[in-house]
Amino acid sequence: MDILQAMRVFVRVVETGSFTAAAQALGYSTAQTSRLLSELESSLQARLLQRSTRRLALTEVGMRYLERCRLILGEVEDANAEAGGAHLIPRGHLRVQSTTGIGIQLLAPLVAKYAELYPQVNVDLTLSQRQPDLLEEGHDVVITLSAHLPDSELVGQELGSIYSVLSAAPSYLKKQGIPLTPEALSQHRCLHLVDPLFTDSWTFRDEQGERSIRPGEVFRVNVAEAMAKAAEAGLGVCLMPDYVSMASYLNGSLVRLLPQYRLHEKSIYALYPSRRFLDAKVKTWVEFLKKEIPKVLDEHHAIVNDPKHWA
């Protein structure tokens, strides 16, 4: 017996006052309706209705059960409406995971703007240097960096592209001089960003070919923002994503070196499980990022490519 359907039959019989009217409303035969109600009473081992040839009357148990059935069926209808409308109305908790730098520099400032557009969505932003298992860890969207679309069963949307730039503090360059070629970096302290998304080597490409150097061991750190602080203090030359360097260029604590080179070029991707029955909060978040992140990156790139911020 379908207990929910039996409850619906019971409620409709009471509301219409007859088995025949309830059967017509539900698309059943009168016999089916009567049988379902009898099966419900048997499963409860309680009589819900007193029947006569002229009328139906609720028993005391039936009156209490009717109230509970209406509450339960109302909750079921609300749940179905909410789930069925999930692809239409953005609401609920949106669980986003991102690499630390992207999350701090790009996503966090945009959350307030998204919240204004979709106030029924609560954003849970988790920052990490590793790429999580989206399905096992319960994230709705993962924001990551890659040279190409990750090979997975997930849907990927490209949001923009970034690259890394060489920087150093004016105080450091005043003491050590300005490196004018990649080879000259061998005479400088080169700080090492330890990040699985970036290679250990700094590879320079131009019309003359490709050459690589490995940064030194004087300072190693796994968060680009910490790298920026060390470089600002005059520790040495650093290579870090353009979106991290931008703020230091604006306040003059770092300047750009070898501006003809862009290293570690990568795309930013939003990954999520499926396009089918896509939740509205995921769809609106990804569409929002596709619109907003390129504008933010254009602003950043304009700053790092402005000669007034070069050594």
Q: Are residues 51 and 109 in the same domain?
A: no
Q: What token pair was written down for 156?
A: 């990927």
The answer to whether the CB of 232 falls within 8 A of the CB of 169 is yes
Question: What residues have CB less than 8 Å from 118, skipping those under 6 apart?
Answer: 90, 91, 281, 284
**pLDDT at position 89:** 80
Q: Which two tokens stand for residue 55?
A: 């009328």
**Same domain, yes or no: 308 and 283:** yes
Extended strands (E) in 18-67: 49-51, 56-58
Tokens read off for 274: 């499926």
Where residue 61 sits, what CATH number does that domain have? 1.10.10.10
- Same-domain pairing of 36 and 117: no
Q: Is 57 helix (H, G, I), strand (E, B) or coil?
A: strand
The answer to whether the beta carbons of residues 176 and 298 sit under 8 Å apart is no
Structure token pair of residue 52: 């006569």
pLDDT given at position 129? 74
Q: Which pTM does this prediction carry?
A: 0.72
What values do phi and psi take at 193, rounded to 5?
-90, 115
Q: Are residues 165 and 301 in the same domain?
A: yes
**DSSP string spanning 86-136?**
TTTS--EEEEEEE-HHHIIIIIHHHHHHHHHH-TTEEEEEEE-SS---TTT
What is the 8-class DSSP label of residue 34?
A: H
Shared-domain flag, residues 69 and 119: no
Q: What is the CATH number of the domain that holds 289?
A: 3.40.190.290
Tell me how crowded residue 229 is: count the other CB atoms within 10 A of its CB.
Answer: 14
Residue 221 has a pLDDT of 92
Of 84, 110, 135, the residue at which a domain comes to its end is 84
**Strands annotated E in the chain:** 49-51, 56-58, 92-98, 121-127, 141-146, 155-168, 192-193, 202-206, 209-213, 220-221, 238-241, 255-257, 263-272
Instruction: Return the beta strands (E) in 147-208 as ranges.
Output: 155-168, 192-193, 202-206
Kindly give the interhelix angle for 242-251 and 280-304, rounded to the nearest 10 degrees.
Answer: 50
Q: Are residues 78 and 100 in the same domain?
A: no
Per-residue pLDDT of the chain (311 residues; tens, 9 = 90+): 688 899 989 988 988 888 888 888 888 898 999 999 999 999 999 999 988 767 788 899 999 999 999 888 888 876 776 666 556 688 888 999 998 889 999 999 999 999 999 999 999 998 887 766 655 567 889 998 888 776 667 888 999 999 999 999 999 999 999 999 999 999 999 999 988 878 889 999 887 788 888 887 789 998 899 999 999 999 999 999 999 999 999 999 999 999 999 999 999 999 988 766 678 899 899 999 999 999 999 999 999 999 999 99
Domain of 30, in residue numbers? 3-84
One domain for residues 108 and 41: no
